[in-house]
Amino acid sequence: MSHHNNSTPGQRFRDAVASEQPLQVVGAINANHALLAKRAGFKAIYLSGGGVAAGSLGVPDLGITGLDDVLTDVRRITDVCDLPLLVDVDTGFGSSAFNVARTVKSMIKFGAAAIHIEDQVGAKRCGHRPNKEIVSQQEMVDRIKAAVDARTDDSFVIMARTDALAVEGLESALERAAACIEAGADMVFPEAITELEMYKLFASRVKAPILANITEFGATPLFTTEQLKSADVSIVLYPLSAFRAMNKAAENVYTAIRRDGTQQNVIDTMQTRMELYDRIDYHTFEQKLDALFAAKK
């Protein structure tokens, strides 16, 4: 693992946004996938709240997850991968400004580069599901102010996510985004956008980087990076793409082993032992052991 002692995770995230238009950010469901994403050439990665809920806890994304659940996954990822990590903190894990502050301070301490915090009520839903409920604009602005005020590192990125489009319409979403930037947010994440041109409106209204959440099977079409660049999008997020593929692959393997009494028919869908060792740098660890114990002889 390479260490950047001269820059913070937040600064590395800002640099990545500046260096790639738009910046592709992929979801990594665990530390192993963080390493795979880095190997594939991505400059930043993401930890999804829905991913922590479904992947680590096996529960729906309905506000069941707590701060410590997310921090556990954050720490495991940042321990082995130096790519800047954007983390979904839902509504901030608690109803008071102090909850939001605790969340921000903890994320910085555990090595995250950025967070996005949303304007849904505490009993939140997936952003691409019906019947979402949002808090008032004032309450959302207060969340942002609390987050910004709690920063122990000015480079740490605070992104405002608004779910207002599906609930109150475009004008309300634009207004909220602008109010959040005014309150100190660095970037904006308008959720469940349905048309490409809408991103352009957000970009011109808030004069800050806009994130497009290109999640599969949701409300947003699977726009390409070229299309999104033309709509002034700065960051393209693929929150759960690898997770969905991994789940389908696991199901297929379990089904086959149970059905066939052997894994022979699905062996070609598996990562090999040598591939795994290569991806997690097994041999470097082994050589370190050999060197340590050789010195004692």
- Beta strands 211-213 and 114-118, pairing class: unpaired
Residue 176 annotated as catalytic: no
Q: Which of 186, 191, 199, 238 is catalytic?
A: 191
Q: Which of 161, 163, 176, 186 is catalytic?
A: 161
Q: Which of 46, 73, 81, 151 is catalytic?
A: 46
Q: Decide: helix, strand or coil at residue 127.
A: coil
Q: Which of 73, 90, 119, 186 is catalytic?
A: 90
Q: Using an 8 Å Cβ cutoff, are 106 and 147 in contact?
A: no
273 assigned to a ligand binding site: yes
Q: Which of 14, 73, 118, 176 is catalytic?
A: 118
Residue 238 annotated as catalytic: no
Residue 46 annotated as catalytic: yes
Q: Decide: helix, strand or coil at residue 126.
A: coil
14 assigned to a ligand binding site: no
Closest CA to 212 of 236, 231, 230: 236
Closest CA to 228 of 20, 34, 85: 20
79 assigned to a ligand binding site: no
191 assigned to a ligand binding site: yes
Residue 33 annotated as catalytic: no
58 assigned to a ligand binding site: no
Cis peptide before 22 (omega within 30 of 0): yes
Residue 126 annotated as catalytic: yes
Angle 170-182/196-206 helices, nearest 10 degrees?
A: 30
Q: How far apart are CA 27 and CA 40, in angstroms?
A: 13
Q: Using an 8 Å Cβ cutoff, are 212 and 22 in contact?
A: yes
Q: Which of 12, 61, 180, 186 is catalytic?
A: 61
Residue 252 annotated as catalytic: no
Residue 163 annotated as catalytic: no
Q: Which residues are annotated as a binding site for Mg(2+)?
A: 88, 90
The residues that are catalytic are 46, 61, 88, 90, 116, 118, 126, 161, 191, 213
Q: Which residues are annotated as a binding site?
A: 48-50, 88, 90, 126-127, 161, 191, 213-215, 244, 273
Q: Which residues are annotated as a binding site for substrate?
A: 48-50, 126-127, 161, 191, 213-215, 244, 273
